[in-house]
Structure 1
Amino acid sequence: MKYPFLISIPHGGTEIPEEVAGRFALLPEEISWYCDPATKILFDFGHRVESSIDTPISRMVIDLNRPPLPLPPRDPDGIIKVRTVDGRQVYLPGRLPDMDLIHQLMLKWYFPYHQRIDELIDHYPIHIAFDCHSMLPYGSTEQSDAGKCRPLICLGNYGDEAGKAKPGSLTTCPPGWIALLADIFREEFKGKDEVAMNVPFSGGFISNAHYWRKGIPWIQIEINRKLYEIQDIHARQPVTREDQVLELREKIWRILTRFWDKIADNK
């Protein structure tokens, strides 16, 4: 039996394409630090789900979870990064991609990813989609929660801290769904305060845009990297405990299937 899930992993890649090689002020290990490299394993549920999508490209080259506009330098943390979340320059002086190169990158990596999501939803019996990420244990200097400790799990549906729609907006999944998923995560992680909804992240461009385009419910999942990494903050180099990643993957899978089984039973 396959579960009717679409799994999106937009930040798991670490590759730097030839077009931008030699432009970065960041070292290769630092580029990995600012990506979510373990998520490609953490959320790889194989043939147990109807479909999944990821990318080899680093989010420091092009961020698939950002809207196509604005372009740099207007948004330093947009589709093309100017600065990291802790304020470091991404590119060497004078080496930020120009408009022609940005256009090439978008045509090669950005638009195909989003087109493929639509195709997967059209061709497979997808009933819910999960946009899957990891997060640092604390808020970085250029983020809204700078210096604050983060929960182990953050679930996002563009709502408030209870999963309900904010005034004048909609959520990307029913509030009852995300609340149920949060409750099951809390059971598995043994702590109410360890699982949050929409804080510090409520969802990115992928879940919002494709919910509006196709009407399939989306939930963004953020997993705290301290669950599987030895943090080397000063070196900005991820040290991943592979056994913890595999164990955590099976726990997440157990949670997602428990959640969906309950949803299906109530339909």
Structure 2
Amino acid sequence: MNSHLPFLISVPHGGIDAIESVRSRLLLSDQDLIWYSDPLTRIIFRFENRVAAYIDTPVSRMIVDLNRPPLPVPLQDPDGIIKTKTFDNRDIYRPGEVPDLHLIHKMVLSHYFPYHQKIDEYLDPSLIQIAFDCHSMLPTGSVNQIDAGKPRPLICLGNNGDCQGDEREGTLATCSTEWIHLLAECFREEFPSEDAVTLNKPFSGGFISNAHFWRRGIPWIQIEVNRILYEPDPASPGSGTTIEERAILLRERIWSVLCLFFQRIQE
């Protein structure tokens, strides 16, 4: 344990599986479940043998979204824990096949609350110095999103602050400005292209980082990596490497960033 970095890594949207009890109800194909997830983030951020704590899920966010608050009651929010619409407004379930409250209750008890309970158990301040909630994002904003049609950076770091990483009025930042700037500097050294790294734009952090920071006070940063870093470009010929191989290469680049960040916060 002492040889591991004192980090918690959470990967809540990397799953691509459907729960058997709802599979036949879905309008989405298996390929859709992959596309609407954060594909391959369970490879990209899989540092379970290198950090103090690691957690992910095999279940698709289209089935149970772990990064949403438990209220309002499911189905009142079409983009909540149990979704009825994708982020580009496609129906998820067949007409008349949306889960009822009894099934929703089972889904939430089996997958949602255990994930958050495990995070809470992991957040021991004697072992965890900072936690990271890890995601991927499409290269441009999708329909109905705040940045629809706009190109996104290679890396977005979120601490529930403003675009400078400072606390916004009426909210708590989940990590200090100093630390999120340090992490941004480390990412910029690894990804030196212009405007490669942004803070809190387009994503400032979701329920996981905010809720568990409020509960335990251990700093959190949400990391979003652009899928362009590992998914093939349809307009370009193949590079001879598989998407899984590119994901593994990206993992090692991100690991070098996290190691450098840890080194610098110790200085």
Shorter chain as normaliser: what TM range? over 0.9
Change (3 A) 1:240 1:25: farther
Who is 2:151 aligned against? 149
Residue 84 of structure 1: CA displacement?
A: 0.9
Q: Which aligned pairs between 1:46-65 and structure 2 lie closer than 5 A? A: 46-65=48-67
Structure 2 residue 214 is matched with structure 1 residue 191: no
Query: In the alignment, residue 51 of structure 2 is paired with which amino acid?
Result: V
Structure 2 residue 148 is matched with structure 1 residue 110: no
Match of 2:132 among 107, 130, 133: 130
Structure 2 residue 255 is matched with structure 1 residue 248: no
Tell me the distance in 2 between the aligned counterparts of 1:67 and 1:127. 24
Tell me the distance in 1 between the aligned counterparts of 2:107 and 2:170. 34
Who is 2:15 aligned against? 13
Query: In the alignment, residue 29 of structure 1 is paired with which amino acid?
Result: Q
| Contact residue 229 and residue 240 of structure 1 kept, 8 A | no
Q: Which moved more, 1:68-77 or 1:91-100?
A: 68-77
Who is 2:102 aligned against? 100
Tell me the distance in 1 between the aligned counterparts of 2:213 and 2:120. 10
What's the secondary structure of 2:156's corresponding residue?
strand
Residue 72 of structure 1: CA displacement?
A: 4.4
Structure 2 residue 32 is matched with structure 1 residue 30: yes
Tell me the distance in 1 between the aligned counterparts of 2:95 and 2:234. 27
Query: In the alignment, residue 120 of structure 1 is paired with which amino acid?
Result: Y
Tell me the distance in 2 between the aligned counterparts of 1:139 and 1:127. 32
Measured against aligned partners, the alpha-carbon deviations of 1:83-111 in whole angstroms (never above 9, x if no partner) come to 11111111111111111111111100000
Tell me the distance in 2 between the aligned counterparts of 1:231 and 1:58. 24
Who is 1:167 aligned against? 169
What's the secondary structure of 2:120's corresponding residue?
helix
Q: Any unmatched runs of 5+ in structure 1?
A: 234-238
| Contact residue 17 and residue 33 of structure 2 kept, 8 A | no
Who is 1:229 aligned against? 231
Who is 2:86 aligned against? 84
Who is 1:259 aligned against? 261
What's the secondary structure of 2:15's corresponding residue?
coil
Who is 2:238 aligned against? none
Query: In the alignment, residue 131 of structure 1 is paired with which amino acid?
Result: D
Q: Percent identity?
A: 58
Cα-Cα RMSD: 1.7
* Alignment coverage as a number of residue pairs: 260
Q: Which moved more, 1:19-28 or 1:185-194?
A: 185-194
What's the secondary structure of 1:122's corresponding residue?
coil
| Contact residue 150 and residue 224 of structure 1 kept, 8 A | yes
